[in-house]
Amino acid sequence: MKVKICGLTSLEAAQTAENAGADFLGFIFADSKRKISPEKAKEIIEKLNGKALKVGVFVNESLEEMERIQHFTGIDIIQLHGQESVEKAGSFSIPVIKAFSIRNEVDFKKIDDYPVDYQLLDLPKDSGSSNEETLDWQMIHRLRQSRNRLILAGGLTPMNVFEAIKLVQPFAVDVSSGVETNGYKDHEKIRLFIKNAKL
């Protein structure tokens, strides 16, 4: 099972994730409490061992700015986490992850419209969701035949990731707040999440 640790803002957390076996490291360049500057991301990326692929997360950003940050920082994958068009999603020369807010079956059935490499399923940001809320794994299991491009996010924690993987069988799982304590990446939770995801 592939694992993505997202919202990284420190070298120590990134190294912990990489050394524990994370396959993808996510850096958020959009407005967020986990936002990181391109300069800081570049500094971190240059000190990593290169085992994990680096993902740049953007929300409704211009194509030119995303390409500039990609070249400057050395990220390997673009993640679109806004209302980007199908045309924009298909405009990159490197792999693309498109995030989708999933509320119901109608939302889920729209994900194949985008010409992207990976489809990330997440909780709606405006749902007022609690930390205990997750996506409807049963619905995803019921509706999805092919999962070889599916990245499951939305409420995952070290405690529930094994169950989620067993039911949904995605290509990868993605976590950010689920491996934090008091708003900061918790190194023990990172290690435990990766361990349980790869059981």
Could you list the active site residues?
6, 122
Q: How far apart are CA 95 and CA 189, in angstroms?
A: 28
Which of 91, 82, 150, 75 has the alpha carbon at shortest distance from 119?
150
Which letter does DSSP use for residue 35 in this model? B
Token representation of residue 42: 């570049």
Question: What crossing angle do the helices spanning 161-168 and 187-197 adopt, rounded to 10°?
Answer: 30
Query: Does residue 54 sit in helix, strand or coil?
Result: strand
Burial (CB < 10 A; 0-12, 13-18, 19+), residue 97, is: buried
Q: How far is CA 190 from CA 8, 14, 91, 174, 195, in A?
A: 11, 10, 33, 11, 9
φ and ψ at residue 2, rounded to 5 degrees: -85, 145
